[in-house]
Chains A and B, each alone.
Chain A
Amino acid sequence: MAFNQEAYKELELIVGKRYVTQDIAERECYRSIMAESSAHSGPFDGETPIPGAVILPGSTEEVQAIVKVCNKYDIHFKACTTFWSVMGFVGDEDSLQIDMKRMKKMEFHERDQYVIVEPYCIGAVVQVEAMKRGFNVNMAGVGCSSSTLAGASSWVAFGPSSCFMGVASENFLAVEWVLPNGEILRTGSLGSGGDWFCGEGPGPSTRAILRGTQGTAGSFGVCTRLAVRLHPWPGPTVLPSYGTIPAYKLVPQWNIKTYTLNFPDWDGYANTINYLSQNQDIAYLGHRQYNMWGRYIKLAMIKMLLDPDGQLADVPKYMEDPFIKEQTEKCRIDLQVVIVGMTKRDMEWKEKAIDEILRRVNGWKNEFMLQPEVQDWVALYLLRLGHKNLNYTLCSSYEGSGGLSNNVFVTSQVMEEYHQLREEFDKTHNGLAATGGDSEMGALSTLGGGGITGYEFFQWFDRHDRSSIDDCRDFIQNYSQKLCDKYGFGTDMGNWNNTARHPDTGYYYTQEEQNEMFAGAPQPYLFTYQFLIKKAFNPKDLCGSYYRTLDPACLKK
């Protein structure tokens, strides 16, 4: 098999020879090596297939023409931009990878408080341009280097700011969507000839089709433009920074404060999240961020990162520093919050609200994190969310394990058990970075005021070390998944995308295999619903298998 050359000639006519390629090394770069991106898929040294060609369209019309060519020749295609997730890559050979990099226009509508973005508007640039206008946008937890459009349309995309701004599905307005058959659907208000201010109408609403909670995982054609909500930003129009690389810090602002809240127990943590979720005006951002490096090293890591000449080798030395040692122990259960005052009175009220919450849960503010330069570093880190690559710092690869739940009071109760599980694992295995058992990271994210809580435990491994890869897989499949099963949390995050390729043969999963997988799922009707949606919108199944479906005929009686 090879890429259809008749189709290739037609693609050249659409974008010009400069923006389409079959060069073998060019195509090789559009393969996901699962240890190098957010895979949530074992085996972690796996790779996705190489595409048959890569194309860079420059407009919606070009995308539409490309998709029509794919339909004409039955070519599978996948559009992606920032390639953070395995779902953005093609699922089988001889497919067409559509790289949306050339589409990066932005259009602000200040009066109606939304911005229309094209795919290559990454979170950082949308935020930068929004702040100039007194606004901000919800930044997905994946970080500012990822596409705002991709997060809002195709995946969960909650993040630290979601406690104030809502998750992806709440920020998603009208969409311009090239359907898998090449038709263009303009949704919501846009679909009735109006503006982009509403995703529901007047005009066709596709919220339950395109969006939902998880999105379509890039498996339903191509979203070429999308409007997302703008939210109030009372801070400076440009985030002013100081400090030497890598310790960039925010110049202190009177109305921006960061605190690391500590709790004596997990009930205090859960109650605090509950207070902040139910009173969404208090925290502008909320995240358990730095624990991702591990419970024992998190403050030592920050100390090291504040030194331009810092080295990972310095971390053990900092861990022995009496002050850091004491504060790390006090920081066992923690939550970072950023409060942003709209007015002086508002700021005073938010400060009081945080203090009152801490009083109620017997919590305190961590003293190490109160140091001015630490506060300034944390403020810039969390507001911009520009340090995604710290996900790889310790030993080059990580996999998230754990998952999502709609109840922080349930998830918080498994934290210590998870911590113990990892501690025990580290006594007999050397493959994962042993930095403190509990390496949970999770945004204070809520859907409509109390829906989703993430609890993602970082498992740090070295892709260059076979035994390290094996240990990571072993932990997720034989330890973490069992904990998820025990508490009814469903599929462990580390196994979410295991349809990226089979563990032993082939690439992605057929409908028959999906039927087998989902027939016994706790909520099988979700997948039968998606089966019908797929049948209606993507009958030729041209966009990959990450959209999970179950043939209703296969439902277990």
Chain B
Amino acid sequence: MALKDFRAMMERDSYCNSCKWIPYDKIRSQRFAENCPTNLYYQFHLYSVRGKWQAAQTYLDTQEGTLGKDPLIKQYGYDFNSSPDFLESVQSCTTCGSCDVSCKVCRFNLEPLAFNIELKNEAILRGFVLPQQKEAIEALKKEQTLITGVKKADRQAWAKGINFAADAETVFFPGCKYSYDPELQAYARKAAETLINAGVKLGFMGDADMCCAGRAYQQGFYDEFNARADANIKAFQAKGVKTIVTPCADCYHAFKRLYAARGLNVKVLHLVEYLDELIKSGDLKFTKNVDMVVTYHDPCHLGRQGEPYVAWNGTEKKIMHQVHTWDPPRPRYNGAHGIYDAPRDVIKSIPGVKLVEMERIREYALCCGAGANTQVNFPEFSAATASERVTEANTTGADALVTACPWCEANFKNAVDENGNKIDVIDIIDLVARAL
């Protein structure tokens, strides 16, 4: 789709502002009732999908030369040059999809998340690319990663000495963050070893292990994503991969949803799903107590965006004169089928661990602030979002905040809450490993 294809949605949006709140039925306190990271930080309407639905209409009118179609209303054309705030509202969106979930409690004909990403692509097509984004995309082309300042040659350092099976149909895909971040590499190693020790015949892509480019897609770099995705799909096919296991929520989403739409036909599992299976089948047994109270953060791309891809090619069809439907029915993608229970079941199965919940959880969890690379592109905003989440985590009284995404983890590790307090941030791999 192009931005102009969202015109009907822009006009069919309403001023309900549900996109700024978690589903109203789920609100438990005023303090943790709001959901949109950009709206929480910037405050103005424009920094919400409601604002952007409206702003984009006049933006499109400007581009298409249709300003003044209503002779009674003065329209003032603008683009990303003349409205720097519009550009920032587009670029700073973390694409967490929380607005999408809240909207779809009631609406069936709006796709806020897809629209937010489309706006990012529009900015790129018009040449509005942040210096940090340029650097990251150059790194993607040169070193096959969006992380800058690292070399492809160092990508497999974490895997040294691990006994991967050369002919395995199940491959472990750590993703860039686990591969390069010195603080996280050990967890990639622990994850692979845990699976192998539990009897999984596990392979690795080796030299063909490269960036999934999901975070390029989140920023609107469609062409770069497509090129990387197609190359990776070919590599998976060449190796005869049947199952991909990844500990990274962004890679999971890329493979499960975005690659599937481009023809990847393999089983995709997040590590927590596989661990949950192994624990429930008895192939993974805990031997130690971990006396700890923890709270769990649902990563956006594993939780609400972790729903399986459903192929759809249809058209709008009005019934009863004006009621909007699609023929055939269109997938909802409202977060109903995200991955929420597997990580919780893993945590709860660890002897001694007590799980306490935050208020914003599951499909209406608050973003960590690192989506769409905002921790690099808009660090102050990203830190404020992480701080908001750590504040929420600390109100639970938990000893630690557990998550299943390296991007969330890294963002939380640098964050302090509104009272200046930190919280221990634990990778779910590490939590499991402590009990083995």
Contacts and interface: CB of A to CB of B under 8 A. Distances in A.
Given A23-B83, A49-B74, A430-B321, A313 B46 contact: no
B73 A47 contact: yes
Interface stretch (A97-105, A279-287, A523-531): A97-105
A246 interface: yes
Contacts of A21: 44, 85
Interface in A225-247: 238-239, 241, 244-246
Nearest to A34: B15
Contacts of B337: 308
Interface stretch (A63-71, A156-164, A389-397, A441-449): A389-397
A502 B71 CA distance: 12
Interface string A498-537: 0001101110000000000000000000000000000000
A262 B40 CA distance: 45
A269 B329 CA distance: 38
Interface in B66-101: 70, 72-74, 76, 78, 82-86, 89, 101
A384 interface: yes
Interface in A1-55: 19, 21, 23-26, 28-33, 35-37, 45-47, 49-50, 54
B43 A309 contact: no
Interface string A306-331: 00110111111000000000000000
A106 interface: yes
Contacts of A297: 320
B334 interface: yes
Contact of A128 (B7, B33, B107): B33
A25 B16 contact: no
Interface string B32-45: 01000000000111
B25 A102 contact: no
Contacts of B83: 23-26
A313 B326 contact: yes
A235 B103 CA distance: 28
A395 B322 CA distance: 6
B325 A46 contact: no
B54 interface: yes
Interface residues of A, number: 90
Contacts of B325: 311-313
Nearest to A314: B329
Contacts of A244: 336
A308 to B, nearest CB: 4
Contacts of B74: 49-50, 93
A99 to B, nearest CB: 7
A211 interface: no
A28 B105 contact: no
B27 A125 contact: yes
Interface in A378-421: 380-381, 384-397
A193 to B, nearest CB: 29
Given A104-B30, A387-B105, A389-B106, A145 B44 contact: no
Interface string A92-118: 010000010110101000000000000
Interface stretch (A341-349, A351-359, A455-463): A455-463
Nearest to A395: B322
A126 to B, nearest CB: 8
A91 interface: no
B320 A387 contact: no
Contacts of B289: none
Contacts of B23: 245-246, 248, 386
A221 to B, nearest CB: 22
Interface stretch (A178-186, A212-220, A252-260, A431-439): A431-439
A551 to B, nearest CB: 27
B18 interface: yes
B239 interface: no
Contact of B320 (A19, A392, A435): A435
Contact of A28 (B18, B54, B322): B54
A431 B26 contact: no
A463 B8 CA distance: 9
B273 interface: no
Contact of B13 (A30, A36, A93): A36
A543 to B, nearest CB: 20
A124 interface: yes
A402 B415 CA distance: 54
Interface in A111-135: 121-122, 124-125, 128-129
Contacts of B225: none
A311 B76 contact: no
B380 interface: no
A414 to B, nearest CB: 24
Contacts of B104: 245-246
Contacts of B194: none
Nearest to B31: A125
18 contacts: A25-B86, A28-B58, A36-B15, A37-B14, A49-B74, A241-B26, A245-B23, A312-B319, A313-B319, A313-B327, A313-B329, A389-B107, A394-B323, A394-B324, A395-B318, A395-B322, A430-B322, A504-B72
Interface of A: 19, 21, 23-26, 28-33, 35-37, 45-47, 49-50, 54, 56, 82-84, 93, 99, 101-102, 104, 106, 121-122, 124-125, 128-129, 144-145, 238-239, 241, 244-246, 248, 297, 308-309, 311-316, 380-381, 384-397, 426, 430-435, 460-465, 468, 501-502, 504-506
Q: Across the A-B interface, give the 9 residue pairs with the lowest CB-CB distance, nearest first.
A: A386-B24, A389-B106, A396-B12, A25-B86, A313-B325, A125-B30, A37-B15, A25-B83, A308-B336
